Amino acid sequence: MARPVVKKKYTLGERIYLLEILKGMALTWKHFVFNVKASFRPGPHTVPTCWQYPEDRTREISPVYRGLHMLCLDEKGREKCIACGTCAKTCPAHCITVKKGKRKEGEEDKYAGKMYCASFDIDLLHCIFCGLCQEACPKEAIVLGREFELAQYTREECHLDKQKLLANYRKAKEEGKLRPPRKAVPVVPAPPKPEVKGASSKATEVKKGQVEVKKATKKAKNAEKAKSGD
Amino acid sequence: MNQDPVSQVDQERLGELVTINIGPSHPAMHGTLRVITVTDGETIVKAEPEIGYLHRGVEKLGENLTYHQFIPITDRLNYCSAIPNNVSYEMAVEKLMGIEVPEKAQLIRVIMMELARIADHEVCVGILGVDLGAFTPFFYLIIQREEIYEIFEWYNGARLTNTFGRIGGVDADLPDDFEERWRELKPNLRKANEETEKLLTHNRIWMDRTIGVSAFSPEDALNWGFTGPCLRACGVKRDLRKDEPYCMYDQFDFNIPVGEHGDVFDRYKVRMIEMEESIKIIDQAYKLYKEMPADAPLKARVPKVIKPPAGEVYSALESPNGELGFFVRSDGSDKAYRIRIRPPCYMIYQAFNDLVKGGMVADLIACISSLNVVAGELDR
Amino acid sequence: MEGWVIAIIKVVFIWVWVLLIATVMTWVERRGAAMMQDRLGPNRAGPFGLFQPLADGIKLFTKEEVLPKKAHKVLWNLGPLLFALPAFSAYAVVPFGDKIILGGKEIILQVSDVNIGFLYVLAIGSLAVYGIVLGGWGSNNKFSILGGLRSTAQLISYEVPLGLALLAVVFVYGSFSLRDIALAQQGTFLGFLPNWGVFKQPLGFILYMVAIYAEANRVPFDLPEAESEIVAGYHTEYGSMELGLYLFGEYVNLVTLSTLVVVLYFGAWHIPYIDISKFLGPVSWGIVSFLILYLKVAFFLWLFVWVRWTIPRFRYDQVMGLGWKALIPLALFNLFITALFIQLSA
């Protein structure tokens, strides 16, 4: 387990320390002069790498940014959500709860689908902003927006209910910060049909067979039970 | 198991030795590492790393989440570079299901993984500088990392925890402005690296602090299970990208930098050169990507609910830290029966005592930074 | 009667002045570092963030004082005092200008012109190490002790080359009085070089510069408080104004050492080739000499900042190696050469 001993070989310039230190100082000086000049420029965003954040909000945020959630309305102002619950099932953090409601007569201008969400709750304290819910949503109803200032004073404020989610959508629409429509990822086209058919039918056959066997054993067991019961 | 480390060293010298507890909250400990050191003055007699301060039960979570739900969890392993973690996990599941990922998706994966590699190395080298007292290069590098994160943000909306890719492909195409951003970023990356080299590489103080510190022989490194830059710094030419190519890495022309002594300086150098090589790979991958038709598939046909056939699989890739592997065992249901992660720095961190013994406290800090031990990955 | 009034005025003046410089230095340090690192630095409090030191001071004063369990109470309280006091009192013999004539009375701009001012500076300078060691020991913290030990070894080792380098200056100018040395640097020698210490003692100057970086615990010699290794070294456990005294004492130390560099090696208040005092009245010359001196000091203070944000830090054994194996032999060599020159030219 002997550790190798390394012999240091230095050139003369390296050996006397000062030369390389002076070179380094020239570099830092260059940065210093550049930044001092930049910081005297008018405008908020002077030194190229620094945003004076609360005042300077000029930094462009990606249109697909995964920030605060919202529930979208369609062009006619109807709720898109059909309360299928896919988002709740997909969520890795289990932070979404959806309750179904059935659209009544005369509510067609309010809800787009036959079902709608009676309540839609997201616990932001659990959410990890992975964006799986918006990807799973068949109607593009739930969407993660560009709003990123999520700090709140109380736990209750971190709980998004349906009204807040809709309000988020309206706010985003007002500011023109809606997420662009989802681009479908092109999927490999399905392979030629006959192969698929053969494979799938075989699989189903096997399955059927298994099921039948299971049923048979169940019947036998039941029969046995009945016998022993006697 | 958890004995007092003092009692494990020479009993006669007990009175002369001091136990110093470095970590879990210490300015130089990355995350929540803890090293119990026994020192003789400043010389380290024994250094015993203790892990588990960031244990979040990631592997157990994998058993209770569906295959897709686990992808965001893998972000949280090595939080310096989430994308290789995602891809490694996805590759494991794809291997289990026998899915062929479309070439374009593979290219996107390569581009993003190499960007993540650059980001990870930048953090590592920068932090190494900070720990050795050179604060300035850190900022030159970290600014460029921000630009890389910008690309990630415009790709799928997150900067750090990307949740990149899906099983069978990727979740989005490269954004339209990728080419422009990359063209802008490339010279800046090179400039930042150059400036870092100018400030550090030939500075004698830096050389004194790094050359020969925690040097390691290739045999020992292999025996301990080193991978990645730390192994290559020892002089072993092992890189999964070349040795067991995945994601079309065999089509790219790039070099594998190799060190000599496996000391901190070599690790630093290897990382610096690897960044340059990554830039080359991204260029080549993007060229291939451009040649593909615009509507080429990005995702294989995958059922909505993923239920891999029963069986087990191990798949690994070369993450910035080394071989990052995922073992997935399926029982045919929609949740994995068992997921096991092989993080590179776990194996490297095992040898920590051997790496730092006989050095000084300052060397311990240099060593731990150069290994790039990420607590999230280590403790899982 | 009047003598001591003037002395008190001088003391108060220089005390406030040094405090002011040290305060501004904390701002310069942070803004300068930021600018070198492509950042902005503190810019919220006041114009350009100039009130930031003030805000920090208020914060430190109003913070609660926490005494660690089992800390040695006396040593704990003594540490910061012993560190800060020598830094201030060293200024007693350092000139801060030529002289000023007020109401027909000649006032030299120096608190007291002691004829062994040199020894006084060295003696007081080495006192500061007690503050560090006592603070480190009294804290009852292993990191603090390590910091204190590092500091002791470092300061003691670097005091030798520092003293030897200064001794060569004494050889050249033939006086222990700092004012005499400053005055002797007027004019030129060999026809074109200014009569400055840096030209007569180039090697000594470099040695002195390196040694003061170690004395002031600045990068690359900031091992006693290397935050990435031993948290904050000797002041790990300190908070509130006790920490403030340590931090402040450090900056005051910088000012003292920089002033000494200027007085000994950079011609104090002289400008090469021109004797401004001829063109100015006695009062204005006093003020101008003061300003010239501190302009030069400002450069050396800036140098401290500049170097700090450029290079990494040494390791403990490397510091010792550099001190004993390189600087001390070089300093002895320098002394020998100087003595030889003086002997030959006499």
3-state DSSP assignment of residue A86: helix
pLDDT on residue C177: 82
- pLDDT average, residue stretch C235-262: 86
Angle at CA of residue B347, ends C229 and B261, nearest 5°: 65
pLDDT at A226 over 60: no
State whether residue B161 sits within 8 Å of chain A by CB: yes
The C residues from 199 to 258 touching A (CB cutoff 8 Å) are 206
Query: Is C310 within 8 Å of A28 when comparing Cβ atoms?
Result: yes
Is the sign of the CA dihedral A88, A89, A94, A97 positive or negative?
positive
B224: its two tokens: 């301990």
DSSP string, C230-241: HTTGGGSS--HH
- pLDDT average, residue stretch B292-301: 84
pLDDT on residue A208: 47
pLDDT at B1 over 50: no
Query: Is A32 within 8 Å of C36 when comparing Cβ atoms?
Result: yes
Would you tell me how many other CB atoms lie within 10 Å of the CB of residue B184?
A: 12
State whether residue A23 sits within 8 Å of chain C by CB: no
* Nearest-CB residue to A47 (from C39, C206, C311): C39
CA distance B272 to B198: 12
pLDDT on residue C121: 83
- pLDDT average, residue stretch B228-234: 88
pLDDT on residue B4: 56
- pLDDT average, residue stretch A205-226: 51
Chain B: give the shortest CA distance to residue A59, in Å.
11
Superfamily of domain B58-379: Cytochrome-c3 Hydrogenase, chain B (1.10.645.10)
Contact B116, B84 (CB under 8 A): yes
Q: Which residue of B has its CA nearest to C308?
A: B134
Task: Kindly report the pTM of this predicted structure.
Answer: 0.85
CA distance B322 to B81: 12
Would you tell me how many other CB atoms lie within 10 Å of the CB of residue A110?
A: 14
Count Cβ atoms within 10 A of the Cβ of residue C93 and give its class: 0-12 exposed, 13-18 middle, 19 or more buried. buried
* Nearest-CB residue to C40 (from A18, A31, A39): A39
CA distance A125 to A123: 5
pLDDT at C282 over 70: yes
Chain B: give the shortest CA distance to residue C327, in Å.
16
CA distance B152 to B159: 6
Helix axes C240-265, C142-173, angle to 10 degrees: 20
Which range, of A67-71, C91-95, C202-206, averages the lowest pLDDT? C91-95
Query: Is C313 within 8 Å of B132 when comparing Cβ atoms?
Result: yes
pLDDT in tens, C111-131: 777 778 788 888 888 888 888
Q: Residue B166 carries which side chain, given as an amino acid letter?
A: R
For testing contact with chain B, the best of C210, C213, C228, C235 (most B CBs within 10 A): C228
State whether residue A39 sits within 8 Å of chain C by CB: yes
Which range, of A141-150, B70-79, C87-96, C188-197, averages the lowest pLDDT? C188-197
The C residues from 97 to 116 touching B (CB cutoff 8 Å) are none
Contact B273, B117 (CB under 8 A): no
Q: What residues of A are in contact with residue C35 (Cβ under 8 Å)?
A: 31-32, 35-36, 39
pLDDT on residue C284: 80
pLDDT cut 90: percent of chain A above it: 0
A181: its two tokens: 């429509």
pLDDT on residue A205: 47
Q: What residues of C are in contact with residue A28 (Cβ under 8 Å)?
A: 36, 306, 309-310
Confidence class for position B13, pLDDT limits 50, 70, 90: low
B327 forms bridges with which residues in the sheet? Answer: B314, B340
Domains annotated on chain A, with CATH? 69-174 (3.30.70.3270)
B140: its two tokens: 């030159």
pLDDT at C143 over 70: yes
Query: Is C316 within 8 Å of B205 when comparing Cβ atoms?
Result: no
Confidence class for position A193, pLDDT limits 50, 70, 90: low
Query: Is A3 within 8 Å of B202 when comparing Cβ atoms?
Result: no
pLDDT in tens, C175-207: 888 888 888 887 777 777 777 877 888 888 888
Contact C47, C213 (CB under 8 A): no
Q: What residues of C are in contact with residue B132 (Cβ under 8 Å)?
A: 228, 312-313
B297: its two tokens: 């598939």
C124: its two tokens: 């007081």
- pLDDT average, residue stretch A28-45: 82
Q: What residues of A are in contact with residue C34 (Cβ under 8 Å)?
A: 35
Q: Are strands B18-22 and A142-144 parallel, antiparallel or unpaired?
A: unpaired
pLDDT at A198 over 50: no
CA distance A177 to A149: 14
Confidence class for position C270, pLDDT limits 50, 70, 90: confident
State whether residue B204 sits within 8 Å of chain A by CB: yes
The A residues from 52 to 111 touching C (CB cutoff 8 Å) are 52
Chain A: give the shortest CA distance to residue B297, in Å.
5
pLDDT on residue C264: 85
Ranked by mean pLDDT, the top range of A59-63, B108-112, B374-378 is B108-112
Ranked by mean pLDDT, the top range of A214-218, B178-182, C138-142 is B178-182
Q: What residues of A are in contact with residue B217 (Cβ under 8 Å)?
A: 2-4
Note the residue count of chain B. 380
What are all long-range contacts of B273-277, with beta carbons under 8 Å and residues at least 24 apart?
B274/B117, B274/B121, B274/B229, B275/B117, B275/B118, B275/B121, B275/B122, B275/B189, B275/B193, B276/B190, B276/B193
Q: Which residue of B has its CA nearest to C317?
A: B360
Q: What residues of B are in contact with residue A17 (Cβ under 8 Å)?
A: 204-205
pLDDT in tens, C209-239: 888 888 888 878 888 777 777 888 888 888 8
pLDDT at A224 over 70: no
pLDDT on residue C271: 80
How many CB pairs (< 8 A) connect A and B? 126
State whether residue B362 sits within 8 Å of chain C by CB: yes
Average pLDDT over all residues of chain A: 78
* Nearest-CB residue to C38 (from A24, A27, A49): A49
Longest dimension (CA), chain A: 103
Q: What residues of B are in contact with residue C227 (Cβ under 8 Å)?
A: 27
Q: Which residue of B has its CA nearest to A87?
A: B69
CA distance B62 to B50: 24
Write out the residue limits of the CATH 1.10.645.10 domain(s) in chain B. Answer: 58-379
pLDDT on residue A196: 47
pLDDT on residue B54: 86
The C residues from 37 to 66 touching B (CB cutoff 8 Å) are 37-39
Q: Which residue of C has its CA nearest to A46?
A: C40
State whether residue C315 sits within 8 Å of chain A by CB: no
pLDDT on residue C64: 86
pLDDT on residue A230: 45
C288: its two tokens: 């101008």
pLDDT in tens, C319-343: 888 888 888 998 999 889 888 888 8
Buried b (16+ CB within 10 A) or exposed e, B231-257: bbbbbbebbbbeeeebbbbeebebebb
